[in-house]
Amino acid sequence: MTYILRPARHSRVCTALAIGIIFSAVSAQDHAAAQTADTLAAQYKLDAMEQALQTRQHYNLYGIRFESDKAAIAPDTKPLLDDIALALNNFPDWRVRIVGHTDATGDAAQNEALSLERANSIKAALVERGIDLVRLDTAGAGQNQPVAGNDTAEGRALNRRVELVRFNDSAEARKLLMAMSKYLAEQKAISFDYDATLEVVTNDAQKLGLANSGLVTLNRPDKIRATRSGGFADIEMLFDGKTLTLFGKTANLYTQVDTTGTLDNLVDQLRDKYNRPLPAADLLLSNVYDELTPDVEDVKDLGSGVIDGVECDSIALRKKDVDLQIWIAQGDHPYPCRYVVTSKLVAGGPQYTIQIRDWRTGDQATKDDFAFENVTNAEKIEPANVKDKLDDLPENFTMGGGQ
């Protein structure tokens, strides 16, 4: 396991932070399970929905009924649609995502498709009520986000719901992220030092942190050297366009594999094949904007801040599984000064932070031939033995399954 962890291919934003390092998964059930869907529907009030969207930015709405296995809205529940439209008119700056949810009865893929169709039916009904289409978004979660067990009729009824999620989509934040992405792609030679921390919360609610520092030097399109030094390991990774080398300085062991391709390809190989993601991997790719923005549910411009004496713009991105925050240096060189990834899938929100310093590009970047020189007479091991021989976590940290 390493400290910057990358996601599955469909969304490359560090979802592997949710690997479950000595913590328990978030329970699928919440306080709603103590009540029935009928009770919650009867308790509904417009001002309660508005307050929830104002403060918590989401609201589980019970009472909108559909024809069985269809997306057509039952006529007697349409007054609730009037209330949603009224709330949006009362708060004209709000943007709302309508998320459909089902129980676990039937086929999962069909449930997901049906939940999206139902969300789109609600969206169409709100547009008919005069709500601007650009203020509305839809998603279908199907049976994937239950709030109760599916083993009882009451639990299944609670899971069949419509969730309203208030979201932001700041054009200015996207502009800042795009400018950073373009600037990074234009740099053929980059080097920087970094300090990184992985923070986790144990089952007994104690927050623990693992800290490390290192140096990254790269020449596009296909060369990189990255070091990481912490209390438990001193690791160096090199790629010269033909050979990938991983060198454990503490153990004085190394392994090599023949591989070719761009840095983007290397990042994928290290993550998927070797479970050795690069530090700040998301920020080293050729198109950072396209890597970070798919499936983004919320984009905020948080204003300015100062990181290590550098004035920065701060933006925040929310996805279903992770929260991201990036501080971007102001001026003509919009490089990332700090990058924070927080998991939303594991109790305690494990968090990875990397802070970048001594940013250098072009002729100012550190010069390197990216070749491995075995000056310590290190022993060569097979790639299959890397996990056992070059692990970089303390023994009291154990890996669990993905949560």
CA 237 to centroid of chain Cα atoms: 25
CB 272 within 8 A of CB 264: no
CB 337 within 8 A of CB 307: yes
Q: Calculate the dihedral angle through the C-alpha atoms of 143, 147, 151, 155, rounding to the nearest 10 degrees.
A: -110
CB 12 within 8 A of CB 319: no
- Whether residue 401 lies inside any domain: the answer is no
pLDDT of residue 347: 72
- Whether residue 163 lies inside any domain: the answer is no
- Whether residue 351 lies inside any domain: the answer is yes
The mean per-residue pLDDT over the stretch 128-156 comes to 93
* Domain tally, the chain: 2
Q: What is the pLDDT of residues 20-69, one digit of tens each?
A: 333 333 333 344 445 899 999 999 999 999 999 999 989 999 999 888 88
CA 64 to centroid of chain Cα atoms: 31
Reported pTM: 0.74
Q: Calculate the dihedral angle through the C-alpha atoms of 171, 142, 402, 2, rounding to the nearest 10 degrees.
A: -10
- Whether residue 104 lies inside any domain: the answer is yes
Which two three-digit tokens encode residue 356? 């970048």
pLDDT band at 229 (very low <50, low <70, confident <90, very high): very high
178 shares a domain with 46: no
Task: Catalogue the E-assigned strands of 37-93.
Answer: 58-61
Q: How far is CA 62 from CA 66, 161, 246, 328, in A?
A: 11, 6, 54, 42
Q: What is the pLDDT of residues 152-199, one digit of tens each?
A: 999 999 999 999 999 888 999 999 999 999 999 999 999 999 999 999
- Whether residue 8 lies inside any domain: the answer is no
The burial class, CB within 10 Å (0-12 / 13-18 / 19+), for 337 is buried
70 CB neighbour count, 10 Å cutoff: 12
176 shares a domain with 123: no
Which two three-digit tokens encode residue 128? 């008919």
Q: CATH number for the domain including 226? A: 2.50.20.10
Alpha helices (H) along 191-281: 263-272
Q: CATH number for the domain including 134? A: 3.30.1330.60
pLDDT over 80 at 387, yes or no: no
Q: What residues make up the domain containing 118?
A: 31-145
pLDDT band at 377 (very low <50, low <70, confident <90, very high): very high
**Cα 103 from Cα 145, distance rounded (Å):** 9
368 shares a domain with 224: yes
The mean per-residue pLDDT over the stretch 240-254 comes to 93
- Whether residue 285 lies inside any domain: the answer is yes
**Cα 239 from Cα 242, distance rounded (Å):** 7
- Whether residue 317 lies inside any domain: the answer is yes
266-276 burial: b if 16+ Cβ within 10 Å, else e: bbbbbbeebeb
**Cα 134 from Cα 32, distance rounded (Å):** 31
382 shares a domain with 270: yes
Alpha-carbon torsion (158, 164, 168, 169), positive or negative: positive
Q: How far is CA 352 from CA 29, 196, 208, 268, 343, in A?
A: 26, 7, 12, 19, 9
